[in-house]
Amino acid sequence: MTRPRDERAGPTPITLRYDDGTVRIDGLEEAFVSPSSLRESVPDLERDPRTDGWRVPAFRYAALRTALLDAVTEPNRIDDRVLALDSLPALRSVYELRSYQREALETWLETDRWGENASGDDPNDLRIITAPAGVLELPTGSGKTVIALKAIERLSVPTLVVVPTIDLLEQWQRELEREFDCDIGRFGGGEQRLESITVSTYDSAYLKADSVGDRFGLVVFDEVHHLGGEGYREIARLLAAPARLGLTATFERPDDAHEIIEEIAGPLVHRVDVDELAGDHLANYDLKRLEVALASDEREAYERAQETFTTYLARSGIRMQSGSDYQELVKRSGSDPEAREALLARQRAREIMYGSAAKLEALEEILDDHREERTIVFTAHNDLAYDVSERFLMPTITHQTGTAERRELLERFRDGTYTRIATSNVLDEGVDVPDASVAVVLSGSGSEREFVQRLGRILRPKADGSRAVLYEVVSADTSEEGVSSRRRDGT
DNA sequence: ACTGACCGACAACCAGCGGACCCA
DNA sequence: TGGGTCAAGTTCTTGTCGGTCAG
C-alpha cells in the first residue's frame, strides 16, 4: 500500500519514517533545516552514518514533528510516514465520569503538544487531533480504568494498553471488549495478537515494541511507576505513539526514576489525594499503630545480631547515611566474608522483629475485635504468613500458591466462606481482591508504595457506610519503628 | 489444556558519631 | 570560607512476576 506523493511538495521533502524503534529523518539538509536548531526540542537527534540521514528514538516523534513544523515554512515539505494506523470504528463509551475523573481527563487532554495539522491529505494524520502526554496519580479504587476508556474514546485512535500482570491483562481485555464492542488484541499470557486496540504485559511489550511501535497513536501505561525499571523504560522509547497516558496511585519512586518516566511518558499533570475521596467515593478509614515488645530471648538474639552488624560498620568505616552507603556494604559483601556475615546478621535481626511472638498475640486480639469482618493479614515474609495461617486457621496466599488454588481461595473469600486471609506481598498489586474492611500489616517494608497499595485493599466504600481500619503492628525499640515511619511519610 | 522448573527483571534493602577534597 | 560530594572490582537476600519450554 503506497501513499500518493504530494505534487506540490516541491523538490525533496523531509521524510519521516518509523524504523525499528526509531524515527528516521531524510532530506533535512536539502531542506535547509539545521539539526542543531532542532536539538533544542529534540536533544537526542543523531546522525545515522549508514543511511546518511538522521535518527531519533521513536518517543521523540511528537516533539520532532512539532519542531519541524516550526522550522519549515511550507508544511507540505514534510512527508510524514511514521505512523501506520488502522482505521477504527467509532468508539462509544457509556460510562459517566465522576467529577474528579472528568477533571483529571480534561487536564490530561490539555497537555496537547501536537503541531498544527500539516500534510492534510494524509488520512493517517487526520485521525490524531491532539497528542496529550502526561501521568495521572489517583488512589486505588478511584476508577482509573474508566478515565482511560474515556481517553481512548476521545482520541479514537489505535491504542496500546500496557499492564504489569496477567490478571490486569484479562481485566482490561474484558472491560475494553464490553465497552467498545470490537476485537481486542493481546500480547502476553501465551498469545501475540495485534488489533487496533491491544492490551499487553510490560514483558511482552518489551519484546514487541520495536516491531509494532508505529501501529498506535495512543499508549496507556497502567501502573506507570513500573516504567522506571531499567528494561521497561525501553518500551516507551521504542513506541512512536504521540499520545501517552500514565496511570498510577504512587508516582514518585525512591530511586528518582520518576524523572525518567516524565521524560518518556509525560509529566505528572494531575493528582487526587485519598483523603479528598474518603467518605464520598472511597470508604472512611482509620490507621492504628500497635507497639509490641520483643520477648526476652528474642530481644537477646536481636541485640546480638544487631551488634554483629554495627561492629562491622564501625570497624570498616561505613557511615550508612544514605542508600549509596548501603550499596557499598552490599558490594563489599561479595568479596569480604565479614561484610557478608554483617548483612546476614542484619537479615536475622529483621526476621526477629518482623515475626515476634508478641505480634501474633496482638493479631489474636485484633481478630477477636473484628470477628465477622473481612480481614486481610499482610506480612513481609512467607514464613510468617504460614505461621499465621497455622495458628489462626486461615488460608494463605503466597507466590507458591498455585493459580487454581489461589482463584478458589479468593472466590471463597468473596462469597464469605472465608472471612480472613493471610498473605505476603502477592496481593499488593494487580490482583482483583475482594474488598475487605480490616487490614493488618503484621510486617512490611518501608516502601510507601506497598503501604498505599495495602491500604487500597480496604478503601472501597462499604454498603453500610462503616469505616475501614488498617492496623500496623510494630516491634518497639527496634529499627522497625523507622521502617514504619518511612512508609507513612506520604500519608 | 495445565503444571513445574527454569530464567531474568524488578523491588526493597538504610546505627549514629567524620574526614578529605573540590569548587564557587 | 562555606557547602556539597563521596570510595573500588560487577552486588546480600527474599519475594514476586512474566515468558519459555518440557512433559
Tens of pLDDT, residues A342-392:
888 988 999 999 989 999 999 999 999 999 899 999 999 999 999 999 999
* pLDDT above 90 coverage of chain A, percent: 56
**pLDDT of A455 higher than 60:** yes
Check if residue A226 sits with its Cβ under 7 angstroms from strand B. Answer: yes
Check if residue A207 sits with its Cβ under 7 angstroms from strand C. Answer: yes
Specify the nucleotide whose C1' lies closest to residue A227 (CA): B10
Q: Are A316 and A310 in contact (CB under 8 A)?
A: no
Q: Are A15 and A27 in contact (CB under 8 A)?
A: yes
Average pLDDT over residues A432-441: 88
Report the distance separating Cα A357 and Cα A368, nearest Å: 17
**pLDDT of A4 higher than 90:** no
Q: Are A390 and A355 in contact (CB under 8 A)?
A: no
Answer with the residue of higher pLDDT: A465 or A226: A226
What pLDDT is stored for residue A489 in this prediction? 67
The cell numbers describing A103, all together, are 477533571
What pLDDT is stored for residue A115 in this prediction? 62
DSSP reduced 3-state for A488: coil
Tens of pLDDT, residues A220-270:
999 999 999 999 999 999 999 999 999 999 998 888 889 999 999 999 999
Comparing C-alpha atoms, which of A165, A393, A146 is closest to residue A245? Answer: A146
What pLDDT is stored for residue A9 in this prediction? 44
Check if residue A332 sits with its Cβ under 7 angstroms from strand C. Answer: yes
Specify the nucleotide whose C1' lies closest to residue A483 (CA): B14
What pLDDT is stored for residue A11 in this prediction? 61
- Listed in sequence order, the residues at least 6 apart from A209 whose beta carbon sits closer than 8 Å to its beta carbon are A21, A234, A235, A238, A239
Tens of pLDDT, residues A285-331:
999 999 999 999 999 999 999 888 888 887 777 777 666 778 888 88
Average pLDDT over residues A95-118: 86
Specify the nucleotide whose C1' lies closest to residue A344 (CA): C12
Q: Protein contacts on strand B: list nucleotides below 7 Å from a Cβ.
A: 2-4, 9-18
Q: Are A203 and A165 in contact (CB under 8 A)?
A: no
Integer distance in angstroms from CA A342 to C1' C6? 23
The cell numbers describing A148, all together, are 482511560
Average pLDDT of the residues of chain A? 88
Report the distance separating Cα A429 and Cα A433, nearest Å: 9
Report the distance separating Cα A14 and Cα A9, nearest Å: 10
Integer distance in angstroms from CA A290 to C1' B1? 48
Report the distance separating Cα A231 and Cα A308, nearest Å: 37
Other beta carbons less than 10 A from residue A8's beta carbon: 9
Check if residue A400 sits with its Cβ under 7 angstroms from strand C. Answer: yes
Tens of pLDDT, residues A108-136:
999 987 765 544 455 455 445 679 999 99
Integer distance in angstroms from CA A332 to C1' C9? 10
- Strand (E) or helix (H) holding A399: none
Integer distance in angstroms from CA A316 to C1' B4? 44
Check if residue A265 sits with its Cβ under 7 angstroms from strand C. Answer: no
Integer distance in angstroms from CA A316 to C1' C3? 26
Cβ < 7 Å from strand C, A residues 80-139 = none
Check if residue A309 sits with its Cβ under 7 angstroms from strand B. Answer: yes
Integer distance in angstroms from CA A118 to C1' C12? 56
Other beta carbons less than 10 A from residue A213's beta carbon: 28
Q: Are A265 and A244 in contact (CB under 8 A)?
A: yes
Report the distance separating Cα A224 and Cα A251, nearest Å: 8
Please name each of the domains of chain A with its CATH number. Answer: 7-81 (3.40.1170.30), 99-272 (3.40.50.300), 285-293+356-487 (3.40.50.300), 296-354 (no CATH)
Check if residue A406 sits with its Cβ under 7 angstroms from strand B. Answer: no
Other beta carbons less than 10 A from residue A230's beta carbon: 8
Q: Are A130 and A114 in contact (CB under 8 A)?
A: yes
The cell numbers describing A203, all together, are 514483558
**pLDDT of A56 higher than 50:** yes
Specify the nucleotide whose C1' lies closest to residue A333 (CA): C12
Other beta carbons less than 10 A from residue A231's beta carbon: 9
**What single-letter DSSP state applies at residue A226?**
G
- Could you tell me how far CA A272 lies from the centroid of its own chain? 16
Q: Protein contacts on strand C: list nucleotides below 7 Å from a Cβ.
A: 6-20
**pLDDT of A152 higher than 90:** yes
Integer distance in angstroms from CA A478 to C1' C5? 31
